Structure 1
Amino acid sequence: MQNMLAEDEYASSYSSYVKLVPDGDIIQTLAKQMEKTIGLLLDISDEQAHFRYAPGKWTIKEIIGHMADSERVMAYRLLAIARGDTVSLPGFDEKEYAQHASFDKQSVKDLLQNLNIVRQSTIHLIKSLTKEDLLRRGTANNTEITVRALIAIIAGHELHHCNIIRDRYFGDATYPKAI
């Protein structure tokens, strides 16, 4: 999808996410990557899910919750812009959201179920959009953005965090081993 997007369709701060998204059917990409994410994380233990690779970093549970929260925010933005809303949509502070959530008190299974439900809702929304809707522009977090860029950001954001989990969490020498 990234090859379809022009650089003026999203803020440059999102380019690292957009670059991760493979070309092809974005709906299939979103569905398949959710299957992979669930497969990656479903069987980790509670001890593993509470692991932080460095002080001040989120736990894996907090990352899963953050992915769901972020997708909800981005899906709201794409809905509002696709429907022609011209109001400037606010930003959000991901650190505040995570701080005020109870992700570490939830099971990995529940967090993944929530993330999957959010994803299914996002996919159904995207399926309802027309080609014109996908090209519609709006303002979110004081930056002009298109609906299709928001979709790519959703996909790339998940890929980004799964890469971090694999590299910095699972790859850390102190990561708890499965029992």
Structure 2
Amino acid sequence: MTLDKLKFPIGEFEKPETITENILTNWISVIALFPEKLTSEVNNLTDSQLDTPYRPGGWTVRQVVHHCADSHINSLTRFKLALTEDNPTIKPYFEDRWAELPDSKTLPIDSSLKILEGIHARWITLLNNLTNQQLKRTFVHPEKGKALSLDEATGLYAWHCNHHLAHITTLKQRKNW
């Protein structure tokens, strides 16, 4: 398996030309099911397995789990900012640096699994109640230099869920865990 395939096991996010109601419903379903799927994949892993990088030079499974909690906390905040402010510029963060902090490298994963369960419960309630007009609200990501609509951001985070889940599932397959 190539390093690029290990880094992006499902490929990179590709925004569809038109975001239909069916596509959006599918994305929301992916986000809704993510905490349960992630927990199922990591719950019985040993500390040694959790501390295994999913690829050479990549994060460990433990860091991936903690990263998902960090990322999805930020995402829910970005959605709420976009819904309550006009095209706000969000604050990016150095996810690679966050992944190197002691809580991401050493803390048991239970706290992040609980965070994901709670964040996703709130996020799904929000997503399921947004109007078409609200889904078109935007925020600006300064690193990308453009406005991102909430419907597109929903797709990006559905991809994010599947992307990191695939990091774990492909590692487990390769290691025969």
TM bracket, shorter-chain basis:
0.7 to 0.9
Q: Is the 8 A contact 1:17 1:159 kept in 2?
A: no
Seen in structure 2, the aligned counterparts of structure 1 residues 118 and 101 have a Cα distance that, compared at 3 Å, is farther
The match for 1:12 is: none
Structure 2, unpaired ranges of 5+: 1-10, 16-21
Superposition deviation, residue 81 in structure 1: 1.2
The match for 1:16 is: 12
The match for 2:65 is: 64
Question: Structure 2 CA distance, aligned partners of 1:24 and 1:155?
Answer: 10
Aligned length: 159
Question: Structure 1 CA distance, aligned partners of 2:85 and 2:100?
Answer: 33
2:147 matched to 1:144? yes
Question: Structure 2 CA distance, aligned partners of 1:59 and 1:108?
Answer: 12
Which structure 2 residues correspond to residues 37-56 of structure 1 after superposition, within 5 A? 37-56=38-57
Instruction: Report the secondary structure of 1:17's partner residue.
Output: coil
Which structure 2 residues correspond to residues 71-150 of structure 1 after superposition, within 5 A? 71-141=72-142, 142-150=145-153
The match for 2:173 is: 171
Seen in structure 2, the aligned counterparts of structure 1 residues 31 and 87 have a Cα distance that, compared at 3 Å, is closer
Superposition deviation, residue 65 in structure 1: 0.7
Task: Give the alignment's TM-score, normalised by structure 1.
Answer: 0.75
Question: Structure 1 CA distance, aligned partners of 2:55 and 2:128?
Answer: 40
Superposition deviation, residue 17 in structure 1: 3.1
Deviations along 1:102-142, whole A, 9 cap, x unmatched? 12332233332222222222212223422211011231223
Superposition deviation, residue 27 in structure 1: 3.3
> Match of 1:34, as an amino acid?
P
Q: Is the 8 A contact 2:64 2:164 kept in 1?
A: yes
Seen in structure 2, the aligned counterparts of structure 1 residues 55 and 147 have a Cα distance that, compared at 3 Å, is same
Question: Structure 2 CA distance, aligned partners of 1:171 and 1:27?
Answer: 27
Question: Structure 1 CA distance, aligned partners of 2:54 and 2:160?
Answer: 20
Seen in structure 2, the aligned counterparts of structure 1 residues 16 and 54 have a Cα distance that, compared at 3 Å, is closer
Seen in structure 2, the aligned counterparts of structure 1 residues 109 and 90 have a Cα distance that, compared at 3 Å, is closer
Superposition deviation, residue 41 in structure 1: 1.3
Aligned match for 1:155, one of 131, 155, 158 = 158
